[in-house]
Amino acid sequence: MNKTAMYYGALIAVVILALIISSDLNKVPDLHPQFADYVTKAIMTTTGPNTFGQNLQVLHGIASRNQLLNVMRGFQEALGVKCEFCHNTNDFASDEKPQKRMARLMITMVRNIDTNYLNAPGLEKVTCFTCHRGQAIPKLVAER
Ligand code: HEC
Ligand code: HEC
């Protein structure tokens, strides 16, 4: 192999790798119906420092990319939206979208309800899905 061929080979490999990584992040995951509930329940009462993420202000105890992505997929499913609803997908740490800032408020609210009001043994926890049920804006009144 000559130098030019090696150069183009390496370039193509980098492009393919970048495509794989970005499609992995943006891919709509194949989820079980209870997944959102399970993930949000598991994370909402978690405490401890994050060892992953650059701008995690309200989620606690996130230790890996996979753990974070599972929580994010839980949000996606609960609200029936994709990543870009809350994120600039070129910079997930950015807070430029109001939906992301609203989601932070919601996480804090859910945690407050779960730890201060539903903390007795045998009580089910509230999750994003409890209100949202697959919609970005939950139904606020009964339909007639
Ligand atoms: C309902 C809104 C919402 C959706 C949908 C959502 N996210 Fe997030 N995401 C957040 C919030 C809020 C944070 C910050 C949490 C915090 O401050 O602790 C966050 C943080 C992140 C971070 C960490 C960035 C950093 O380093 O600080 C990544 C990565 C991320 N999300 C990826 C995704 C991906 C991938 C998807 C789609 C599968 C997704 N998110 C869907 C709200 C959302
Ligand atoms: C107690 C019920 C309740 C729970 C639980 C709840 N939400 Fe909400 N959420 C609402 C209501 C009501 C609105 C609409 C507020 C408005 O804009 O008038 C809303 C709006 C939002 C919005 C803004 C949507 C838009 O299009 O502007 C986001 C994002 C959001 N919620 C994320 C979440 C996430 C993430 C969770 C779980 C951590 C969550 N919510 C849990 C009631 C809830």
pLDDT band for position 94 (50/70/90)? very high
**Does the pLDDT at position 8 exceed 60?**
yes
Q: Which ligand is nearest to the CA of 61?
A: 1
Gyration radius of the chain over CA positions: 19
Nearest residue by C-alpha to atom 30 in ligand 2: 103
Confidence of residue 143 (pLDDT cuts 50, 70, 90): confident
Q: What percent of the chain has pLDDT over 90?
A: 49
Residue 92 Cα, ligand 1 centroid: separation in angstroms?
Answer: 6
- Residue 98 reports pLDDT greater than 60: yes
Q: Which of 69, 76, 45 is nearest to 58 (CA)?
A: 45
pLDDT at 48: 85
pLDDT of residue 7: 87
Q: Flag whether pLDDT at 33 surpasses 70.
A: no
Residue with tokens 């192999």: 1
Pocket test for ligand 1, best of 46, 81, 97, 100 (most atoms within 8 A of CB): 100
pLDDT interval class at 27 (50, 70, 90): very low
Distance CA 144, CA 128 (A): 25
Residues 3, 37: Cα–Cα separation, whole Å: 54
Cβ atoms of residues 71 and 125 within 8 Å: no
What pLDDT sits at residue 26?
Answer: 45
What number does the ligand 1 atom closest to the CA of 53 have?
26
Residues lining ligand 2, CB < 6 A?
Answer: 40, 75, 79, 99, 102-103, 106-107, 110, 126, 128, 130-132, 136-138
Query: What is each CA distance from 20 to 16, 30, 83, in whole angstroms?
Result: 6, 17, 17
Confidence of residue 4 (pLDDT cuts 50, 70, 90): confident
* CA–CA distance, 84 with 69 (Å, rounded to integer): 14
